[in-house]
């Protein structure tokens, strides 16, 4: 396995993605990690990420000495290369012009890391993003590639297995980058490349059994991929010791409760408590218009109901959560300061303290698409594994302003038609998330020979890789008019449909 030491780059996660895609398990640790823990973890190779600092600064992050003492191959990327060079006796200087974006390299020499990827004389395209640059490699290193702005764009010491890149091999704009990272993990560090989902499944089951023993476990199902995969995995590990709880807050999409019940109770035979708490949630939301207040009400009411159901089951010792890797990486914040709260996302984070439960988080090492792969490995139906994300507060944040039961019904009907059309057009998997929003605005129309005065429905569909940024999906005009016609004809209460063409940023994906 490979350890990635993070110096605060925006793209450290991508290094992990590429390494795992090469069939090698890896983890990202902050460069401040305990040296003894690094030694004990015994990585076969270490990758040093980029970062915003400059080695010339007095308090610049340093590579812990243990990294050099372990005697394993190293790959320094951007700041990682500069720190390596600085600490091993080479020279780094502030460049008078920054190099940012595409650059053409000239491969000047061969090295083990380039074997099968680049040969001397090649001029591959890479992606650069740096201010400082290495101007003299430490002894033992050779320069193996140069660019106009970087005389030491790649340096190599084959004897020690130490390599440094000024460019970023992890980003898609470096077309051969994945091959280089694979060469590092496989040829240089000697990893076997046999880390698969099947192996992960076995390891995860063993770990859950060891953690839980013969005690009781509960899991809140949301209808989404993460909680479903976590629940099925835990059920495989400890069987009937697991009970799932599904709280219907009345703000779900059409057919959700039936879908979850069918899958868990009937298909998997997993004990499932179904609680209809829609009256409670909708009463509490009555007349509330502030988006953050709505989110807070749904979050705390959810905890109350979940707690009640867990008590009714006679208590439990563990709570399963579908926490993913991007949520837990202790990455180095370049700015160090708290970020502005755009929205307070709702999950069941408040539960463990209130209920004195220990957490079982079997997915905390995985990325979203790896969770999907694990779901497939566990035999979950494709329709569940490939589902679009759905927010915890549900339809409450898709009806701007106050929320009523009637509005939820109208929105559910429109949303169902929209997704049905997307399915029929075979577009579901091309889209990160698609949903309808019910605007609390009425407009005038003419239906038959009569005047209508009904709500406006906005359709939203975005593409994204992680939900952090998003582009609107470019439906054909035909698709949009067909869907709009169906919604207006089939849903009482809507007489106008609009399409939201705002990207994120400046918009967010949800409307509230
Ligand atoms: P925004 O609207 O912030 O959404 O651009 C980004 C992604 O997060 C989802 N989302 C949530 N997911 N609880 C969740 O589990 C929440 O409270 C929540 N709010 C937004 C949103 O659907 C999108 O995928």
Q: Which of 7, 8, 9, 27 is nearest to 17 (CA)?
A: 27
Q: What integer pLDDT is reported at residue 340 of this predicted model? A: 66
pLDDT over 80 (residue 66): yes
Q: How far apart are CA 250 and CA 393, in angstroms?
A: 10
Question: Which one of 188, 206, 227 terminates a domain?
Answer: 188
Question: Which one of 327, 351, 385 terminates a domain?
Answer: 385
Cβ of residue 343 lying under 6 Å from some atom of ligand 1: yes
Cβ of residue 392 lying under 6 Å from some atom of ligand 1: yes
Verify that 184 and 201 share a domain, yes or no.
Answer: no
Verify that 262 and 345 share a domain, yes or no.
Answer: yes
Cβ of residue 381 lying under 6 Å from some atom of ligand 1: no
Token pair in block for residue 362: 């079997």
Would residue 244 show up in a list of annotated catalytic residues for this protein?
Answer: no
The DSSP annotation for 252-315 comes to SPTTHHHHHHIIIIIIS---EEEEE-HHHHHHHHTT---HHHHHHHHHHHHHHHHHHHHHHTT-
CATH number (domain holding residue 439): 3.30.300.10
Would residue 168 show up in a list of annotated catalytic residues for this protein?
Answer: yes
CA 212 to chain CA centroid, Å, is 27
CA end-to-end distance (rounded Å), the chain: 42
Sign of CA dihedral 392, 397, 401, 403: negative
222 is in an annotated binding site: yes
Token pair in block for residue 18: 């590429």
505 in a structural domain: no
Site to probe by mutation for ligand 1, drawn from 298, 345, 465, 507 as the one with most ligand atoms within 8 Å of Cβ, is 345
227 is in an annotated binding site: yes
Q: How far apart are CA 198 and CA 201, in angstroms?
A: 5
Work out which ligand 1 atom sits closest to the CA atom of 222. Answer: 15
pLDDT over 70 (residue 332): no
322 is in an annotated binding site: no
Find the range with the poorest average confidence among 108-112, 132-136, 342-346: 342-346
Looking at this predicted complex, what is its ipTM? 0.98
Separation of CA 391 and ligand 1 centre (Å) = 5
Question: Which one of 323, 357, 385 terminates a domain?
Answer: 385
129 is in an annotated binding site: no
Verify that 312 and 440 share a domain, yes or no.
Answer: no
In the chain, the number of structural domains is 3
Token pair in block for residue 76: 């320094």
Local structure of 109: helix, strand or coil: coil
Q: What is the mean pLDDT of residues 445-465?
A: 94
Q: How far apart are CA 361 and CA 321, in angstroms?
A: 5
Kindly report the three-state secondary structure assignment for every residue of 59-82. Answer: CCCCCCHHHHHCCCCEEEECHHHH
Verify that 481 and 348 share a domain, yes or no.
Answer: no
137 is in an annotated binding site: no
Work out which ligand 1 atom sits closest to the CA atom of 392. Answer: 13
Separation of CA 510 and ligand 1 centre (Å) = 7
Verify that 230 and 178 share a domain, yes or no.
Answer: no
Separation of CA 512 and ligand 1 centre (Å) = 9
Residue bearing the bigger pLDDT, 502 or 350: 502
Work out which ligand 1 atom sits closest to the CA atom of 432. Answer: 24
* pTM, entire model: 0.79
Would residue 191 show up in a list of annotated catalytic residues for this protein?
Answer: no
Verify that 337 and 313 share a domain, yes or no.
Answer: yes
Separation of CA 509 and ligand 1 centre (Å) = 7
Percentage of the chain modeled with pLDDT above 90? 77
Q: What integer pLDDT is reported at residue 291 of this predicted model? A: 96
Verify that 212 and 302 share a domain, yes or no.
Answer: yes
511 in a structural domain: no
Question: Considering the chain, what is the average pLDDT of its residues?
Answer: 92
Q: What is the mean pLDDT of residues 1-21?
A: 90
CATH number (domain holding residue 274): 3.40.50.620
The residues pairing with 101 across neighbouring beta strands, listed in sequence order, are 128
Establish whether the linkage from the previous residue to 505 is cis, with ω within 30° of 0.
Answer: yes
Contacts of 96 (CB under 8 A, 6+ apart): none
Q: Domain span at residue 54?
A: 2-188
Catalytic-labelled residue, pool 86, 111, 130, 168: 168
pLDDT over 60 (residue 382): yes
Token pair in block for residue 63: 């590579």
| pLDDT category of residue 337 using cuts at 50, 70 and 90 | very low
Verify that 181 and 206 share a domain, yes or no.
Answer: no
Find the range with the poorest average confidence among 346-355, 415-424, 480-489: 346-355
């Amino acid at each position: 396995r490979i350890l990635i030491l993070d110096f605060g780059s925006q793209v450290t996660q991508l290094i992990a993605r590429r390494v795992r895609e090469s069939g090698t398990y890896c983890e990202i640790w902050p460069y401040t990690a305990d040296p003894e823990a690094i030694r004990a973890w015994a990585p076969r190779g270490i990758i040093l990420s980029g970062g915003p600092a400059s080695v010339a600064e007095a308090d610049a992050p340093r590579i812990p000495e243990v990294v050099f003492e372990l005697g394993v191959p190293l790959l320094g990327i951007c700041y990682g290369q500069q720190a390596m060079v600085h600490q091993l006796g080479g020279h780094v200087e502030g460049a008078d012009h920054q190099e940012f974006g595409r650059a053409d390299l000239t491969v000047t020499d061969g090295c083990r890391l380039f074997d099968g990827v680049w040969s001397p004389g090649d001029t591959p395209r890479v992606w650069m993003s740096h201010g400082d640059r290495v101007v003299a490699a430490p002894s033992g290193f050779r320069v193996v590639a140069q660019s106009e702005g970087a005389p030491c764009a790649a340096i190599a010491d084959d004897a020690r297995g130490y390599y440094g890149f000024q460019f970023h091999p992890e980003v898609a704009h470096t077309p051969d980058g994945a091959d280089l990272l694979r060469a590092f993990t496989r040829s240089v560090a000697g990893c076997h490349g046999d880390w698969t989902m099947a192996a992960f499944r076995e390891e995860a089951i063993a770990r859950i059994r060891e953690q839980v023993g013969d005690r009781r476990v509960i899991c809140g199902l949301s209808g989404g991929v993460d909680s479903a995969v976590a629940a099925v995995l835990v059920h495989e590990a400890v069987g009937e010791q697991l009970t799932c709880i599904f709280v219907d807050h009345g703000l779900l999409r059409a057919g959700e409760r039936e879908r979850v019940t069918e899958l868990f109770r009937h298909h998997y035979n997993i004990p499932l408590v179904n609680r209809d708490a829609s009256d409670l949630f909708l009463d509490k939301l009555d007349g509330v218009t502030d988006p953050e207040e709505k989110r807070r009400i749904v979050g705390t009411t959810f905890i109350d109901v979940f707690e009640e159901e867990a008590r009714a089951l006679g208590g439990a010792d563990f709570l399963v959560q579908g926490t993913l890797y991007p949520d837990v990486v202790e990455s180095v914040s370049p700015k160090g300061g708290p970020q502005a709260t755009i929205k307070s996302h709702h999950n069941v984070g408040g539960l463990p303290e209130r209920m004195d439960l220990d957490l079982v988080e079997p997915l905390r090492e995985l990325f979203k698409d790896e969770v999907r792969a694990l779901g497939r490995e566990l035999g979950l139906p494709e329709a569940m594994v490939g589902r679009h994300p759905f927010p915890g507060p549900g339809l409450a944040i898709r009806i701007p302003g106050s929320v009523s039961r009637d509005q939820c019904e109208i929105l559910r009907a429109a949303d169902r038609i929209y997704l049905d059309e997307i399915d029929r057009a075979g577009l579901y998997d091309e889209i990160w998330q698609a949903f309808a929003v019910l605007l609390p605005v009425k407009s005038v129309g003419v239906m038959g020979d009569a005047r209508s005065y009904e709500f406006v429905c906005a359709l939203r569909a975005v593409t994204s890789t992680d939900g952090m940024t998003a582009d609107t999906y470019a439906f054909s005009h035909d698709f949009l008019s067909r869907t709009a016609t169906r919604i207006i004809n089939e849903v009482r209460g809507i007489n106008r449909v609009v399409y939201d063409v705002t990207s994120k940023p400046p918009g967010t994906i949800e409307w509230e």
